[in-house]
Structure 1
Amino acid sequence: MRKIVHIDMDCFYAAIEERENPSLKGKPVGVGGSSRRGVLTTANYEARKYGCRSAMPVFKALELCPQLILVRTRFDLYRTVSAQVRAIFGRFTDKIEPLSLDEAYLDLSHLNTSAAALAREIRTQIKEETGGLTASAGIAPNKMIAKIASDWRKPDGQFEVKPEEVDAFMKALPVRRIWGVGGKMAGKLESIGIRTCGELQQFDKIEMARRFGRWGLELWELCRGIDIREVRTERIRKSLSTENTFRENLHSLADLRPVMHPMIEEVAADLVRHEDRQIRSLVLKMKFADFTRTTAERAHTWVDKEIFEELLAEAWQRSEGRGVRLLGVGVRFRDPEDHRQMELL
């Protein structure tokens, strides 16, 4: 039986800024969005009380919370702290799958100690060695449930779903907590009387496919807590990217551009750790409201905002009026083996 832990740093960027500037503590803070046309990269818990959240336009955040303190992003600093945290993970396992600078999956199946005890120790070491930064953890037999569980006792807490508790946990779980079920999908399910995973489990695979297409077959497994994905550790990275899933679908290029800009900055900052790799192309991914997706790609050797703007417009043209639920930007690396073969030739 696998022991998977999902570690999620609490308001990571904002927490680092509060650590660096203690006068910010107890005040609503938003990171990112240097102008009213920008967007928030994150907001601390004080700001969230007013409804501020990541990917929200700054002007909207200021309407909700006029006293919001805006702080510019400092990805170099965040990346340094992230490396500290990952070094702590490495003391417990080499099976680590980073999802971003502030969260990762850990596979602790090979250790005899209780996964909950290990997660507690990891969180303690993070707090002691990063100057008080806190992390929340979810512990479960698979990645999906571990990620859901890490939200259960935020901030600075953890929650475990043991193998024998999975059935009861999933039956009571609201369907909107499942990955991929946004507001629109939750509304569609609610219209047919489905609010919990237990209620969704009434439908067999054929009915799920009839009602929801290919996504219905995946949803049949997810609502039962079935997730066979392994914690993947990449030996040689083929790409580097960041993604943003929106709570509400975005419906225009004007909405998407300010969201994309800080994402490009994050990728550019993270590339410093991969100075030995050559960029082959720039990539933009877009997922639409109906869960179909498209990718726009251009051969290029450095992060160029103008090209990302062109890729965004290219992908948006394929939307056919559908709202956008996810945006991703990134780079693909050249294969080091290809480079060595060219040198031999």
Structure 2
Amino acid sequence: MEKIVFHVDVNSAYLSWNAVWDLQHGKSLDLRTVPSIVGGDPESRHGIVLAKSIPSKKYGIKTGETLFSALMKCPELKIVPPRYSMYLKASDAMVEILREYSPLIERYSIDECFLDMSHIQRKDAVKVANELKDRIHEELGFTVNIGISTGKLLAKMASDFKKPNRVHTLYREEIEKKMWPLPVEDMFMVGPRTAEKLHKMNINTIGELARANPQFLHARFKKHGYMISCYARGIESSTVKNEGTIEMKGMGNSTTLPFDFTDRISCHNVMLSIGETLVPRLRDSRKLVKTVGIHIRYSDFSSFSIQRTLNFPSDSTSLLMATACSLFDEIWNEEPVRHLGISFSQLKEKDIEQLSLFKDGSAEKMKRMDQVIDMVRKNFGDDSLIRATFINSPVKAFSGGVVEKDYIFMNSHL
């Protein structure tokens, strides 16, 4: 039986999800039809383009550039803030549909998934992919590209072909025609710096990279040279790993402050705000934390980190945020703070939690309180229940967003 792999990639994910949300809540403007981006407030330091609409591309707007730069290119640019909790719900809704098509799904990121479709034949793959693509559009309101091949690498490359709302194949016999004419920077794992070096070596297309001597590439890029040489020839053999079969190593969240914070209480509130976004995701994943870390970046861009291992793994918002605030007090030098982050590591399975006679007696009470808060927010929205400390505070009740560690990403070896 031939191996068939689908790579499902949401078109302009953050912006599409914002657009669908707005349309479902009574707005008439579809952000996908005008020059628009998901970013932050131009007046604050959240000034980076996170996602862009297709019409914005003609102005040369790029993901990752500053809002100031984007507005210089297109003064009429529509800017909307990110809604991270909504993105997670949209992603989960898409995965629910994908589960109807394959029992073997690997979540590559919040907006990309691999499906092992080896239970269908190649002649039926395009038809099934189109059906899946259309269902996502009709039921959820956003579009996806689907790449089809016999492996993950080529399926991912295929999904990056012409967008939006398309299905593309890239089988091994199609590599020379469909992939090799592309610019070398379109190759998976060829970043801007690598592409610049390749151009200086007169390697400008993926085909030229594929035909280059692997030993020559190794001499210039070491092991990375062998890897991109193999990828350019379509060589990789990884399998689709079922969602959740790879151990989650850690979780994290961070935020850049709207202005430099100079008082301890405000910084504590920021830590709690980050935790209000992060800890519920921890509970959703049914994990417990053994080690808590924090990261501080000051106004002069100097950075410091510290971590602490707990006596017992926990998923309690109160306990974990008390630990984070204690760590902050331990390393803060009273200089103005520009950026704060929290990380969780040494994650343990909640289902096999070790019981102890020495746990804090309030743990069960905090557990019940967290369960009620999670239930209310899930049913009525995050803003339905916020802590009193955020009332009339410059700190938002929920800070930070989706961090890549929360998902299983392909590494350089797929």
Residues 46-195 of structure 1 correspond to what in structure 2 (within 5 A)?
46-112=55-121, 114-130=124-140, 132-195=141-204
| TM value normalised by structure 1 | 0.74
Distance 2:221 2:100 in 1: 44
1:33 aligns with 2:40: yes
Distance 2:125 2:142 in 1: 21
**Partner amino acid for 1:188?**
K
Distance 1:105 1:97 in 2: 5
Cα distance change on mapping 1:97 and 1:240 into 2, 3 Å: farther
Alignment match of 1:274 (pick from 280, 284, 288): 284
Distance 1:109 1:206 in 2: 35
Tell me the residue number matched to 1:258: none
Maintained 8 Å contact 1:281/1:297: no
Q: 1:81-117 deviations in whole A, cap 9, x for unaligned?
A: 2111100100011211112221111110122362222
Cα distance change on mapping 1:114 and 1:338 into 2, 3 Å: closer
Cα distance change on mapping 1:50 and 1:307 into 2, 3 Å: farther
What is the CA-CA distance between 1:191 and the residue it aligns to? Answer: 1.9
Distance 1:118 1:277 in 2: 35
Unpaired stretches in structure 1, ≥5 consecutive residues: 244-252, 254-263, 285-295, 312-327
Aligned residues: 301
Distance 1:147 1:270 in 2: 31
Tell me the residue number matched to 2:348: 335
Q: 1:157-182 deviations in whole A, cap 9, x for unaligned?
A: 12111232234444333321112212
Q: 1:22-70 deviations in whole A, cap 9, x for unaligned?
A: 4332332222312442122212222233222332222222222211222
**Partner amino acid for 2:39?**
G
Cα distance change on mapping 1:212 and 1:16 into 2, 3 Å: closer
Maintained 8 Å contact 1:277/1:333: no
Larger radius of gyration: 2
Aligned-CA RMSD value: 3.8
Distance 1:209 1:33 in 2: 41
Cα distance change on mapping 1:329 and 1:154 into 2, 3 Å: farther
Q: 1:295-345 deviations in whole A, cap 9, x for unaligned?
A: x8834775869989xx9xxxxxxxxxxxxxxxx996435222795345599
Cα distance change on mapping 1:331 and 1:68 into 2, 3 Å: farther
| TM value normalised by structure 2 | 0.62
Counterpart secondary structure, 1:49: helix
Distance 1:153 1:330 in 2: 37
Tell me the residue number matched to 2:337: none
Cα distance change on mapping 1:225 and 1:282 into 2, 3 Å: farther
User: How many percent of aligned residue pairs carry the same amino acid?
Assistant: 28
**Partner amino acid for 1:193?**
N
**Partner amino acid for 1:29?**
S
1:222 aligns with 2:266: no
